[in-house]
Structure 1
Amino acid sequence: MTDTVAGSRLAGIDWAKDNHAVCVIDEAGEPVERLVVPHTKTGIGRAVAVLRRHGVAGVGIERPDGPLVAGLLAAGLDVFVIAPSQVKALRRRYGSAGHKDDRFDAYVLADTVRTDRRRLTPLRPDTPATTTLRALIRARADLVVHRVAVTNQLRAHLDTVLPAAAGVFSELTLPISRAFLAAFPTQDAIDALTSDTLASWLSAHHYRARPAAVILDRLRTAPTGVTGPAGTALAGVTRAYLTTLTSLIEQTDTLEDQIAAALATHPDAPIFTSLPRSGTVRAARLLAEIGDARGRFPTPAALAGLAGVTPSTRQSGQTRIVAFRWAADKQLRAAICDFAADSRRTNPWAADLYTQARARGHRHPHAVRILARAWLTVIWKCWTTNTPYQPDRHNALQNLLNHTPTHAP
């Protein structure tokens, strides 16, 4: 017994770089039309027209994105993503050879939708809540890039014009650093400072990390900057960088407030905020880049592949090459690797996986990708079951904790 409506037709499309094989079947699983269309606007339009003419109720395909999938969704068709690894296993339903053939795979995809539809999740575009969160997250990331660039430009400028101010506080982006530059933008202004004046200024700005005498000593021992009229003129450049930097920081803070508000109302927020050291922005970034369209990733491997944390394997005859996967969603890869790298600081399981990878000779970026791939399996399970991450139910973590010897103090 199948899940299809009597009289309905289904289709499978074997996606390829240049051409797509299409197979339409009836409710009994018999092919009623086959065709191959080129990967062009006209070819995709022809495929959609054929599916509409047959009144196709569902389409099976191996990938969740691209112009072809966008065209199918725009036509109002139900699209079901079936991972290539699943298709490879399903070929044996129809014979023992299991050879790869585009036309045959298109039929396998269509018939799998016919027989297993209840197990498949239809692909849906991300909800407006997710697309909005993604826009906010990416806009913030762009501002952070600009902020870092302007900070570096300001530091390079100060190294020549006002070296004393460049390193008096730990970071140029700190409010106290920016306030100091605004108040004392020239070498002459710094040279005129006294201990009492500086102490009074620091007190007015509620700064107590270091005594005024220590800071004044730093200012006095730093290389001398540009003095006189030239220093006064170059202070205009300092103010320009400072104004730009302050604006970027303020706008980034505004976006972070909007991100926090958008995340708080998102249905999937509990899943991502439950992850170790996820915080607000990092949790929002993971949610935004993974999305909420469950049908995009039928398996953890599908998610890991798009994130580019699995290697690309090419084999020809006896030659097998395993290399870095360049074709990936770089935003998603950056999000999951950022999370994975930091998770090892509080999660023993993550720390152990990372340490093992490093012990095998992998460099830091490679070890982080290995850890990211493992985390995606956990995240995918939480995501598809709408369950927050619970360390006490994470079997690998619990096994590690239970087998880690404890030493008496």
Structure 2
Amino acid sequence: MSTNACSNVFAGLDWAVHTHAVCVIDTTGAVLERFEIAHDREGLSELMRRLARLGARVRIAIERPSGLIVDALVEAAHHVFPIHPNAVKASRPRYRSHGAKSDASDAYLLADLLRTDGHRWRELSPQSDSIRALRALVRSRDDLVSTRVALGNQLRSQLEAFWPGAACIFCDITSPIGLAFLQRYPSPTSAARLSEAALRRFCRSQHYSGRRSPAELLARLNSATAGLAGPLATDAAGQLVRSMVAVLQPLVEQIAELTRRIERFVESPPDGQIIMSFPRAGRVCAAQILAELGDVRERFPTLDQLAAEAGAVPVTYQSGKTPSVAFRWACNHRLRQAITCLADNSRHANEWAHAIYAAARARGCDHPHAIRILARAWLRVIWRAWTDRTPYDPARHLGALKLVSDEQG
């Protein structure tokens, strides 16, 4: 097929774990080619060769906006259109009445949706190399933190079953000092003769900077409910604790290393300085926002599109005269978590943010709802600063200035 014919073909790629189905159709919806590629180097090369035969820049639809194949397609100058899985799911009844599903049929569905409704989907623009690097670091750290939380909950559950005191002696059992304590004292038997002096030496060796004295920590340990497990069960549980600690310690160290690297990395790009200029944004939170926001301004030409992507606005349904508002589940969950984190932190340092949060609570909103309302308000400011490429300036924030004026008046 000639290069000039590339505008008359549409491709759909159904993403899977090991293999990906591809379907190519023409302007009438007729299938020109079907094939599968493996999720490896040879499969990716085969995909690029086949697409090159179709034309220099092929329009291709896919259900996800990121990943190795997506990056490769964008770098090869193809037109990539991500279509949300909910839109694909809702479109299946247009093509078949039964509930059966296959990768090949979904690949055709994606291609045909691009053919018939291409004006509805926005082409994916390539992010800069620095944004892609930052996104990889941030998402990897977030995934490791989720793993740490899950393992920490498992460890706490194990301790509460046979040694509750060890679960509450330090505020966070997955902190370096909490894990060091459990490594040294994995069971009540090993800590039976622990004295205040010994605990003081241990805290000093771990550079403990908490406000509680060794006497208070020891009281916490001894005042908790005693476990009822027998000697054999206690020894077995202690061995399990030691095993989980052995898994958690390097995990916590790698999270700390990634955190340090992210904090250094986010200071370099100009957009990083813009996001960090907001109250209590911090480096990690700013990096999380920037990693999902990116540096391609065309992705979010309007504030409403960014707010919907961040899940900061609800979904409105209306049937006749009966409207209803529901929580927005379909969104970029990483961006929503980062934006709400910034909003929650900012209300402690910014009067305008605190006033919006307090007003929402006064109307009867619970804490998560009030934080989302505040996040929506901050998104308006963030979008403007990001679009104009200027850091946040409280002196130009009209909402904050009006609040100060009303208080003074």
TM-score by length of 2: 0.69
Task: Report the counterpart of residue 404 of structure 1 in structure 2.
Answer: 407
Deviation at 1:179, TM superposition (A): 2.0
Residues 176 and 252 in structure 2, CA contact (< 8 A), matched pair in contact too: no
Highest RCO, 1 vs 2 (Cα 8 Å, sep ≥ 6): 1
Match of 2:220 in 1: 218
Quick one: distance in 2 between partners of 1:40 and 1:397?
58
Matched, 1:253 2:256: yes
Shift of 1:306: 1.7
The AA in structure 2 aligned to 1:217 is A
> Which residue matches 1:275?
278
Q: Determine if contact 1:163/1:222 at 8 Å carries over to the other structure.
A: yes
**RMSD (Å) for aligned C-alpha atoms:** 4.2
Per-residue displacement from partner, 1:171-197 (whole Å, max 9, x unpaired)? 212322222222222222222223433
2:384 maps to which of 381, 385, 391 = 381
Q: Which moves more between the two structures, 181-190 or 153-162?
A: 181-190
Change (3 A) 1:399 1:236: same
Instruction: Return the alpha-carbon distance in structure 1 between the equivalents of residues 208 and 265 of structure 2.
Output: 34
Q: Which residue of 2 aligns with 1:314?
A: 317
User: What are the superposed Cα offsets for residues 268-294 of structure 1, whole Å, 9 maximum, x if unpaired?
Assistant: 111111011111100000000111111
Paired position in structure 1 for 2:149: 148
What are the within-5 Å matches in structure 2 for residues 116-127 of structure 1?
Answer: 124-127=125-128
| 1:72 to 1:260, Cα distance in 2 relative to 1, 3 A | closer
Question: Letter of the aligned partner of 1:351 in structure 2?
Answer: H
Distance in 2, Cα, partners of 1:359 & 1:37: 57
1 CA distance for matches of 2:216 and 2:71? 62
Q: Distance in 1 between matches of 2:235 and 2:245?
A: 15
Residue in structure 2 matched with residue 327 of structure 1 by the alignment: 330
Q: Compute the displacement of 1:65 (Å).
A: 6.4
Map 1:4-403; keep pairs closer than 5 Å.
76=77, 124-207=125-208, 209-225=211-227, 226=229, 228-403=231-406
Comparing 314-323 with 177-186, greater Cα deviation is found at: 314-323
- 1:354-377 CA-partner distances (Å, limit 9, x unpaired): 222222233322222222222111
Specify whether residues 255 and 39 from structure 1 end up closer, same or farther in structure 2 by C-alpha distance, changes over 3 A only: farther
| Residues in 2 aligned to 1:199 and 1:70: alpha-carbon distance in whole angstroms | 53
Kindly name which structure, 1 or 2, has the bigger radius of gyration based on alpha carbons.
1
Secondary structure at the aligned position of 2:364 is classed as coil
Distance 2:354 2:373 in 1: 12
Greater CA drift, 283-292 or 216-225: 216-225
SS in 2 for 1:188: coil
Q: How far 1:296 moved relative to its partner? A: 0.8
1:380-400 Cα deviation digits (max 9, x unpaired): 111111100111111111111
What is the TM-score normalised by the length of structure 1? 0.69
Question: Is 2:361–2:370's contact at 8 Å kept on the other side of the alignment?
Answer: yes
Residues 187 and 227, structure 1, Cα contact 8 Å, conserved in 2: no
Compared CA separation, residues 348 and 199, structure 1 to 2 (3 A): closer
Structure 2 vs 1, CA of residues 354 and 144 (structure 1 numbering), >3 Å: closer, same or farther? Answer: same
Contact kept? 1:123, 1:293, Cα under 8 Å = no
Give the total of aligned pairs: 332
For 1:212 and 1:301, how far apart are their aligned partners in 2? 53
